[in-house]
Structure 1
Amino acid sequence: MDKRRLAVIIASFCTVLIGFAVRSSYGVLLPEMLPSLRISKTEAGVIYGAFFMAYTVFSPVLGLLADRINVRALLTLFSVILGIGTLMMGYSSSLIEGIFFFVLAGIGASACWSPIVPLVQRWTSDKRRGMTLAFVDVGASVGVALSSVILPLIVVAYNWRMGWKILGTLVLFMAGINFLLVRDYPQEDPNLQYPEFRQHQNKPSSKMYAKILKDSKFLLIGTSYLLIGFSILIPLTFISTYAVQELMFRYNIATRLITIIAVTSMIGKLMLGSFSDAVGRIKAIIICEILIAIGGLGLVFLPGSFAVHLSMAIFGFGHGAIWPLYALCAPDYFSKSSAGFIVGFWTLFLGIGFILSPVIAGWIADTTGRFMWSFILAIATAIISMFLLLLVGKKISCDNPLRVAPVDSIR
């Protein structure tokens, strides 16, 4: 692998790392933020939902732009926006300020996934696409793990506000790394290994985009993505708060549950990402969703500290590979040149689930006084998501005009 290719992959890894670190830090810091800001769980869900609303609005736009304009400039600019929003979260003193600053962070975070997928694919061979994107997405788990370990130490030494300030500063540093390392395409070369990703490739037409949006597989996978996102975000948002308030864990012990999710998700990303290259994306995603549902069932119905930790390990292993596997369905079922557009619009589906999830789960917890029913809702949506993917498998057609290459198994 040449130095420039390696530099782009490293920058992509770091961008995903910092984006998911910011996203997951909300759940880590939430037990300390609730009494300080004097907000309910529903209001806490509204702040998080506002982040994902901004993320959802901008992700499809950036996914489309990633197919057409300078990704280097895109990543640099939106990393700066993410850094400013994250930094200002450390100065929020009310619900309104929290919403405003986290909306700003959500706008910036929208560049930490959709543009990354087509960028990495341009610099990677077909045979290594699943493995390379899985590696880049390990950055998400590393970011979650680091935030869940380091932020509690900062909270103990200072407070939750300092956690946001330090994280925001790191994001601004990441913007500089993107500017220095990222390049849009491999240099033109007669011996270029991947000619389909040359800079002067034919751009997708508006008619092709219209066909994609009407395709049943596009809609089924997108709806499945929405539901699994809804499911996953409930424990990721409230597991540490649940452990502190209902299981009576100390704060630093409660946040270790997020660390367990992050560490096991790294293993899941690498194992299931490579596994999907052999058996197909849909089969691998279904396995992930089964594990997520099992982890949720253990959290609700198995008593004891060990059971909670084991359940989160199972949940994390399944959760780890979900995002890259859904993203890889785009070039598998449709056109590689449209990958950014497709991933961006699937992220629109995902964002709807993310917007609704913390608000509804927080409201249920406030209304019932327990998180149990919120977690049961997460289990149910994961199961429904899995069944939608089974329908995709039955509808695969070898003569799909939107595809550019044969698809093996039930991809």
Structure 2
Amino acid sequence: MERDLTETISFDKRFFLALAACYLVISINFGIRYTYGLLAVEMMNDMNFSNQDIGLMVSCFILLFAFMGFVTGPLIDRKGAKMTILMIFPLIGVGSILIGIMAPLVIYGILFSIIAGIGASGGWAPVIIWSQKICSKRRGLIVGIMESGTKLFPFLIALAIPQLVPMIGWRGVWLLLGLIALFSVFLVSISPEPKVEDNKPRKKTYLGDMAGILRSRITWLIGISYASSAFATMIHVTFYKAYLNRELMMSLDFSTLLYGLMNLVGFIGSLGLSALSDRFGRRPLIIACNTLLVASLLGFLFSRSTLGLILSTILAGIDLGAKWPLYATFIKDLYDWEVAGLATAFLTLFSGAGSTLAPYVSGLLADLYNSYRVSYALSVYAGATATALIGVVKR
């Protein structure tokens, strides 16, 4: 029987430590992912990397993050979320530190991004499952709280980078993030994980559950929508700063601050809309988020005023903050706890596919056309596709 541990009088205060550990893990995980975009210009200038090179590094990071779902999903269901994090997540810290000390060769950036990407796979699905076990009656809210860290931390990094880079350089930023990631692993090691059982009796084997997930039309519609939305979003977050600086000729500091604004708005959106989904449902809010994404991308394509770019940034931030927890809780609505890890990891494969292709393809197009506008136009089509597909889902 499911029970919300936060609603019992005997609630173990150690679970607050578990939630704090989960929050730091998912925050530093996505902080490292978005740092590629925040430091793209500095890395390109210092090591003579191209847009395609940076895009390839990001793609390798996300590719391993996605395909490790084949490992993390079964591990979560069999060994638990905590053990999965302890086994895999330290690699993101190691990879980040290696990026900070690498020689100016693309092959090193690719290799170390692969290591970091493997580690990153231990910092999303396990956190989502662990936190939902603690607060099973308010899953939309708790996942929204966890996801708010994926926006708050990049926002803080964006604020800090203009001060940190002159002091410790872009390499020092990577080293610092790697050390924070390793510290989060220590917090996980001393945090408890609850045992949660379903009301429903088990009728299938694990392989039978996997087959059921793969045969579900709804799962595929949600997954392909997620992939399309992730594709559109990753084009934006990877080259947002470079687009503003290199094409719209805005200063690096101003471009970084706008990037931070997007994540600050995302922090608010992840809390507000995710909590509302417990009452109004995930599907209508996912449709709203993807619609806002398309509107924001159109704004970046056609607006040339500072005010227009700020408004487009706010719209993008709302989508960026709320979309990921909404998709995550939507897929969990369909499946039991015994296969929650597998179902969540399966969804991650879709988002990973879109997120992996986006940086490389958009970087290649930017180098080919000497402009980011073609990449942004492609992201508009992807966002519209994501909206249409989730609209088809009836449940």
Q: Same fold (TM over 0.5)?
A: yes
Report the Cα offset of residue 155 of structure 1. 1.0
The TM-score with structure 2 as length reference comes to 0.93
Which residue identity lines up with residue 100 of structure 1 in the other structure? L
Partner of 1:224: 225
How does 1:197-236 map onto structure 2 within 5 Å? 205-236=206-237
Change (3 A) 1:146 1:204: farther
Which residue identity lines up with residue 25 of structure 1 in the other structure? T
Identity value in percent: 29
Which residue identity lines up with residue 109 of structure 2 in the other structure? G
Give the Cα–Cα distance (whole angstroms) in 1 for the partners of residues 43 and 237 of structure 2: 16
Partner of 2:3: none
Would you say the 8 A contact 1:138–1:266 is kept in 2? yes
Give the Cα–Cα distance (whole angstroms) in 2 for the partners of residues 202 and 256 of structure 1: 53
- Pairing partner for 2:92 from 69, 77, 82: 82
- Pairing partner for 2:49 from 39, 42, 46: 39
Structure 2 residue 163 is matched with structure 1 residue 162: no
Would you say the 8 A contact 1:204–1:337 is kept in 2? no
- Pairing partner for 2:40 from 22, 30, 33: 30
Give the Cα–Cα distance (whole angstroms) in 1 for the partners of residues 117 and 110 of structure 2: 10
How many residues align structurally? Answer: 384
Superimposed CA distance per residue, residues 308-341 of structure 1 (whole angstroms, 9 cap, x where no aligned partner):
1211111101221111111111221222321110
Give the Cα–Cα distance (whole angstroms) in 2 for the partners of residues 141 and 362 of structure 1: 23
Partner of 1:185: 194
Give the Cα–Cα distance (whole angstroms) in 1 for the partners of residues 113 and 176 of structure 2: 15
- Pairing partner for 1:114 from 116, 125, 148: 125
Would you say the 8 A contact 2:69–2:345 is kept in 1? yes
What RMSD over aligned residues (CA atoms) do the two structures have, in Å?
1.8
- Pairing partner for 1:104 from 115, 124, 128: 115
Would you say the 8 A contact 2:76–2:126 is kept in 1? yes
SS in 2 for 1:25: helix
Would you say the 8 A contact 2:268–2:321 is kept in 1? yes
Q: Unaligned stretches of 5+ in structure 1?
A: 187-193, 397-411
Partner of 1:307: 308
SS in 1 for 2:198: helix
Q: Unaligned stretches of 5+ in structure 2?
A: 1-5
**More off after superposition, 244-253 vs 214-223:** 244-253
Would you say the 8 A contact 2:82–2:126 is kept in 1? no
Structure 2 residue 365 is matched with structure 1 residue 356: no
Give the Cα–Cα distance (whole angstroms) in 2 for the partners of residues 38 and 98 of structure 1: 13
Superimposed CA distance per residue, residues 202-230 of structure 1 (whole angstroms, 9 cap, x where no aligned partner):
98621121011111001111111110000
Partner of 1:64: 74
Give the Cα–Cα distance (whole angstroms) in 1 for the partners of residues 24 and 168 of structure 2: 26
Report the Cα offset of residue 274 of structure 1. 1.3
Partner of 1:48: 58
Partner of 1:189: none
Report the Cα offset of residue 282 of structure 1. 0.9
Report the Cα offset of residue 52 of structure 1. 0.9
Give the Cα–Cα distance (whole angstroms) in 2 for the partners of residues 243 and 174 of structure 1: 33
Superimposed CA distance per residue, residues 95-120 of structure 1 (whole angstroms, 9 cap, x where no aligned partner):
00000111111010111111112211
Which residue identity lines up with residue 293 of structure 2 in the other structure? I
Report the Cα offset of residue 125 of structure 1. 2.9
SS in 2 for 1:158: helix
